[in-house]
Structure 1
Amino acid sequence: MMPSVNSDDPSDKDSEHFTEIDPTGRYGRYSELLGSGAVKKVYRAFDQEEGIEVAWNQAKLRNFSNDPTMIDRLYSEVRLLSSLNHNNIISLHKVWRDEENNTLNFITEVCTSGNLREYRKKHRHVSVKALKKWSKQILKGLDYLHTHEPCVIHRDLNCSNLFVNGNVGQVKIGDLGLATIVGKSHHAHSILGTPEYMAPELYEEDYTEMVDIYSFGMYVLEMMTLEIPYSECDNVAKIYKKVSAGVRPQALSKVRDLEVKAFIERCLAQPRARPSAAELLKDPFFDGLVDDDENDDTSS
């Protein structure tokens, strides 16, 4: 029997009460919001069985009542997440649909330090070595997704959906809401993503998992410069124009470290010339970097 939500115990006045509990009574949601996007809200929550904090993701389905494809996409995100198992990808614990409130709910692991964009802003003095360690973990996650059967393309990789456990320097890829599962051809055909991070071929609606490598290059650029790529553009049309014409973001000229700059350029190359995640992991860029998780380097 799980402890009840409300208690009359006077010593209980300092404890937080759950706003909502999942149908099994295992997970309790607090009112504190961890993040909010166009599709869903993410709340702090608690797994009473394991005694650990988790994230409660909630999508209001009524917002998409006229858009069944969006509901399908949400369901497929969740189904997809539940089949993945890797140290550098946010794991999913449970999913259910609340018919009464017309919400889709899923419990995922939570990263204590939030997303990399906020974390990097907070900690301005980060060595290139630390950035390389983060980058290597992201590439391991991407390699897992891209070599998964079937292949998974994230399509919206950027610094706001890369999450960090700052106490151990562990980075995980999250928010697979725009991920797509592609068959053996590895080709996908719909335009989605964050404009500043989108590869030119994404706009042309014919692309492979290499779009994630381009986005990864933009992530390295943002981490180096603390600037969102193409921040010189004040609208999406201008970004699209520059990306399509192969014009690099101004931030790239601010990267003084030539090794890092060359590494970013490799990621932003034409699709056929772009290295895979597995190839990038073997890049001399990572030479001399010892993995903290060398012993449990495989799936969690």
Structure 2
Amino acid sequence: MPCVKPDPEDKDAEPFVEIDPTGRYGRYDDLLGTGAVKRVYRAFDQEEGIEVAWNQVRLRSFSEDRPMMDRLFAEVRLLRRLRHANIIALYNVWIDEEGSKLNFITEVCTSGNLREYRKRHRHVSLKALKKWSLQILMGLEYLHNHEPCIIHRDLNCSNVFINGNIGEVKIGDLGLAAIVGKSRAAHSILGTPEFMAPELYEEEYTELVDIYSFGMCVLEMVTREIPYSECDSVAKIYRKVTGGVRPASMTKIKDPEVEAFIERCLAKPRARPSASELLMDPFFDGLEDDSSSSSLSNSAPPSAAAATANRTQQVAVPTGLD
């Protein structure tokens, strides 16, 4: 079904450049971000009166790349099934056959991704960093305890998003995620090299690879430096990771408590704790007593949760995405 085109004669209309087939969502020309396969625009939900993100992928660019197409559709299928305060929510999805584009509407985090946000704000307390970390862990716990288990496989600070006005953090970009069965084992080599656990390279791993990546996220949040930035090639990163050599940025950590927590996350798979276990770590002691922050709850406030449920229940799945 082609997208509804804005009426240029209607002077009172919103300045949308595109409208979804239902007429509910309008896309602005403002680009929020670009990835390897998609562009994300600012958009508006006219029914709820909220800003949203309009994700757009030009399918023609990948018509000969079946694995990439499968990954794109896998992300949409995954998002449809997930309901958690720390996971980006999907509201609608459709294919524009005429323009050969896959479009999906997700919630938007107003302050962008955590990497850029941290770069903009150099002076952040350890307490704030712990709050962000705690929310990422709550999202991971949800994914890992999902039935079946979901492994993100590409967790890094550019795939974590934040609403800076309330300190709310959400995991996004699930295009490389794997759904695994009761064995909880996966086999493909995928991810961002600097954040990949050693066992990922060995093609035999579990959801604990996300905990390793989470540890690297905490390291980046603390140091404002991407791990292994001292390496000028993927091959050098690979040699250090598989050899158990820590990133040079670890030497910049001054707080022994922070260093010990990160080391727990980077431990060998058998010694590496689960997300649920890390949530009980003394590293987070005292945060649950901070009643001034709503970001520590496991779910959104009732009204927000209800609104999200109403929107996500209306997701229609185009042919090929079932």
What TM-score range do you get, normalising by the shorter chain?
A: over 0.9
Does the aligned pair in 2 maintain the 1:214–1:267 contact within 8 Å? yes
Aligned to 1:207: 205
Within 1, Cα distance between the matches of 2:296 and 2:282?
22
Q: Does 1:130 align with 2:128?
A: yes
| CA deviation string 1:153-191 (max 9, x = no partner) | 001100011100111110000111111111111111111
Q: Secondary structure at the match of 1:285?
A: helix
Cα pair distance change 1:211/1:45, threshold 3 Å: same
Deviations 1:55-82 (A, max 9, x none): 0011111121112222122111101101
- CA distance in 2 between partners of 1:4 and 1:294 (Å): 38
Q: State the alpha-carbon separation in 1 of the partners of residues 98 and 133 from structure 2.
A: 42
Give the aligned partner of residue 238 of structure 2.
240
Give 1:7 shift: 5.4
For 2:276, give the aligned amino acid. A
Q: Which amino acid aligns with 1:48?
A: Q
The letter of the residue matching 1:190 is: S
Distance across 1 between alignment mates of 2:79 and 2:295: 24
Where do residues 38-57 of structure 1 align in structure 2 (5 Å cutoff)? Answer: 38-57=36-55
The residue aligned with 2:75 is 77
Secondary structure of the 2:102 match is strand
Deviation of residue 9 (structure 1)? 6.0
Q: Is the 8 A contact 2:135 2:295 kept in 1?
A: no
Structure 1 residue 5: Cα displacement: 2.8
Distance 1:182 1:9, change over 3 A: closer
For the residues of structure 2 that align with 1:180 and 1:116, how far apart are their CA atoms?
23
1:177 counterpart SS class: coil
**Percent of aligned pairs with the same amino acid:** 73
1:27-176 maps to which residues of 2 (within 5 A)?
27-176=25-174
Residues 149, 55 of structure 1: alpha-carbon distance in 2 compared, 3 angstrom cutoff: same
The size of the alignment, in residue pairs, is 295
The residue that corresponds to 2:177 in the other structure is 179
Instruction: Name the counterpart of 1:275.
Output: 273
Q: Using the TM superposition, give the Cα deviation of residue 298 of structure 1 relative to its aligned residue in structure 2, in angstroms.
A: 3.7
- Shift in CA distance, 143/295, structure 1 to aligned 2, threshold 3 Å: closer
Q: 2:138·2:298 contact (CA, 8 Å) conserved in 1?
A: no
SS of aligned partner of 1:69: helix
Tell me how far 1:295 sits from its aligned partner: 8.8
Cα distance 1:106–1:9, how it changes in 2: closer, same or farther (>3 A)? Answer: closer
Higher relative contact order (CA 8 A, sep 6+): 2
| Residue-by-residue CA offset, 1:210-241 (whole Å, 9 max, x unaligned) | 01000000000001101000000001111001
Secondary structure of the corresponding residue to residue 218 of structure 1: helix
* CA drift at 1:4: 8.2
Q: Distance in 2 between matches of 1:106 and 1:130?
A: 32
Structure 1, unmatched stretches of 5+, are none
Per the alignment, residue 193 of structure 1 pairs with: 191
Helix, strand or coil for the counterpart of 2:53?
Answer: strand
Structure 1 equivalent of residue 298 of structure 2: 297
Question: Is this contact kept in 2: 1:6–1:17, CA < 8 A?
Answer: no
- Looking at structure 2, the residues matched to 97 and 150 of structure 1 have their Cα atoms a distance apart, in angstroms, of 27
SS of 1:38's equivalent in the other structure is coil
Partners of 2:45 and 2:51 within 8 A in 1: yes
The aligned runs of 1:220-259 (5 Å cut-off) are 220-259=218-257
Q: 1 CA distance for matches of 2:143 and 2:245?
A: 29
State the TM-score, normalizing by the size of structure 1: 0.94
**Distance in 1 of aligned mates of 2:143 and 2:132:** 17
Structure 1 residues 89-126: Cα deviation after superposition (integer angstroms, max 9, x where no partner): 00000111111111111000000111111111111110
Give the TM-score of the pair, scaled to structure 2.
Answer: 0.88
- RMSD between aligned alpha carbons? 1.7
SS at match of 1:178: coil
Q: Which residue of 1 aligns with 2:259?
A: 261
Q: Which amino acid aligns with 2:245?
A: V
